[in-house]
């Protein structure tokens, strides 16, 4: 049980998301289907939590100079990484960006892009969900294959 909880915590962490949570849970011997479902849902939960943070908490913290400096750096990285894809392909560009199972391309960056580009929340949530699902399936398939070898 503790291994499943750890996998879930990795999945909501900006340092791993489900890209780390799924392989961790599978490597610890937790049922691979249970790991997939729990880690996917935990990673999906990041979107509304992150939007809440950006819409309300961020507004108060932005007045604090060290926070503002870090926030501007993160915003620039998110714009550079997602900007051309979102402006060119919209919904599908965001889904594709979130889908890539590499560091810095998950739901955190996708949510920041949603906020920065003022995308419609429901469409952005669906794009993030599709991207997270595809990324999680890729990672899950890889982790299950490696475990069976």
Q: Judge whether 61 and 47 are in contact, CB under 8 Å.
A: no
Q: Which residues contact 62 (CB under 8 A, 6 or more apart)?
A: 68, 71
- Residue 87, domain extent: 2-148
Tell me which of 63-72, 79-88, 96-105 is least confident: 79-88
Which tens digits make up the pLDDT trace of 33-62? 999 999 999 999 999 999 998 888 887 888
C-alpha distance from residue 87 to each of 10, 94, 99, 148 (Å): 31, 9, 17, 41
Binned at pLDDT 50, 70 and 90, residue 81 comes out as low
> Dihedral angle at the C-alpha atoms of 63, 68, 120, 14, nearest 10 degrees?
-130
Query: 131-140, pLDDT tens digit by residue?
Result: 999 999 999 9
The residue-averaged pLDDT of 89-111 equals: 85
pLDDT score, position 22: 96
Question: In this structure, what is the dihedral angle of CA atoms 58, 96, 14, 102, given to the nearest 10 degrees?
Answer: -140
How high is the pLDDT of residue 118?
85
d(CA 52, CA 71): 15
**How many separate domains does the chain show?**
1
């Amino acid at each position: 049980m503790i291994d499943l909880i750890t996998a879930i915590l990795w999945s909501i962490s900006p340092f791993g998301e489900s890209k780390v949570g799924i392989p961790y849970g599978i490597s610890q011997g937790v049922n691979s289907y249970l790991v997939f479902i729990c880690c996917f849902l935990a990673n999906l939960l990041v979107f509304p939590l992150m939007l809440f943070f950006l819409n309300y908490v961020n507004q108060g913290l932005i007045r604090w100079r060290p926070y503002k400096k870090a926030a501007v750096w993160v915003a620039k990285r998110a714009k550079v990484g997602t900007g051309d894809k979102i402006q060119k392909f919209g919904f599908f560009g965001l889904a594709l960006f979130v889908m890539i199972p590499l560091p810095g391309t998950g739901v955190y960056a996708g949510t920041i892009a949603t906020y920065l580009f003022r995308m419609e929340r429901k469409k952005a949530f669906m794009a993030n969900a599709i991207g997270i699902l595809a990324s999680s399936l890729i990672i899950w398939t890889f982790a299950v294959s490696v475990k069976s070898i």
